[in-house]
Homo-oligomer: A and B are copies of this chain.
Amino acid sequence: MTAVPASMTDGRALVDRAMRASAERLDPMTRRVVSYHLGWTDEQGRPAAAGGKALRPALALLSARAAGLPYETALPGAVAVEFVHAFSLLHDDIMDGDRTRRHRPAAWTVFGPSAAILGGDALLALSEELLLDEHTRGAHWAARALAAATQRLISGQALDLGFEQRDDVTLDECLTMAADKTGALLACACSIGAMLGEGPTRLVTALTGFGAELGLAFQLVDDLLGIWGSPDTTGKPVLADLRARKKTLPVVFALAAGTAESERLAELYALPGPQPEDVLREMARLVEAAGGREWAAAEADRRIASAEKRLADSGMDDHVRAEFRDIALFVTSRDH
């Protein structure tokens, strides 16, 4: 289950070239920040190879094929969703005070917060411009969907920031936050190629539903890795989410479970300031004992099943459907 699906590597070079060509439109300062953030260069601007897994572009390309169109139809969409994703990470790292991203210093720690804010801004504006370069109804559709997804992404981040000040976050709120922050852009990625190619609305709706469910599954797995994943896998320090007292899905489930462990966890989460690693390990144990780990894993599986169901009656080619399924299983497997 951990082998990288072919559909995640097939269009990789194509997208990479298009992203680099698009980034040429940025002014030198934001281009430097963006090139570093995307893993193309190191701190000194020398070539590097430290990119992410480019999940969203792969899904975007596949969504063109779901509509019976060549990969290339989705290319501006693949670049645009990845740029919006990069924008959100650039800004989130500043807001969350996260100093590490993909095993490297976060961009704002290298270039300063101002340059990182501006780099994110530039990517957001550029993503819309790239889509609107084409004068088709599909481009209009895709650009509008991307702007709406970006709105929800921002809304999810606002909710998440608000959670930090509260000790009464419900599981429903937490699911809404994840659906906005992670689900909306993945839903857009999964359908943007079909929109650009002006595919049938029924197909676009099915793909959007698939992506929304996949997004929740992805977030659940990400939250599990944020507690029990190794730094090698996550690219972040060990127990990072508990260190930052993040109200992630397994934690909020555990807090709301009404067990003795829930109460003890709430006490530890209320402690001020940084905590030593043994307290963090105790938190992790309590989340598990209160059922948060098991629930999150089972919920992720349910979301994957639900995602697959959305594709079942979309009228899509079986081969493409299998490729979507492979990507979904790959990015939500817990052993890589």
Contacts and interface: CB of A to CB of B under 8 A. Distances in A.
B144 A117 contact: no
A29 B158 CA distance: 6
Given A94-B117, A118-B157, A154-B118, A144 B129 contact: yes
Contacts of A30: 154-155, 158
A166 interface: no
Interface string A15-35: 000000000011111100000
Contact of A151 (B129, B157, B162): B129
B159 A147 contact: no
Given A139-B140, A140-B132, A154-B27, A147 B118 contact: no
Given A139-B140, A147-B129, A95 B124 contact: no
Given A124-B124, A133-B144, A144-B129, A25 B151 contact: yes
12 contacts: A30-B154, A30-B155, A117-B117, A118-B154, A121-B121, A121-B154, A122-B151, A122-B154, A125-B150, A126-B147, A132-B143, A139-B140
A154 B117 CA distance: 10
Interface string A137-163: 101100110011011001101110110
A303 interface: no
Contacts of A135: 137, 140
A201 interface: no
Contacts of A115: 158, 161
Interface string A47-70: 000000000000000000000000
A91 interface: yes
Contact of A132 (B87, B122, B147): B147
A213 interface: no
Interface of A: 25-30, 87, 91, 94-95, 113-115, 117-118, 120-122, 124-126, 128-129, 132-133, 135, 137, 139-140, 143-144, 147-148, 150-151, 154-155, 157-159, 161-162
A299 B144 CA distance: 41
Contacts of A161: 29, 114-115, 118
B143 A27 contact: no
Given A128-B147, A140-B135, A159 B95 contact: no
Contacts of A132: 140, 143-144, 147
Given A114-B161, A118-B161, A140-B140, A27 B125 contact: no
Contact of A91 (B87, B121, B133, B137): B121
Nearest to A94: B117
Given A29-B158, A140-B140, A95 B121 contact: no
A11 B72 CA distance: 45
Contact of A27 (B28, B121, B155): B155
B124 A125 contact: yes
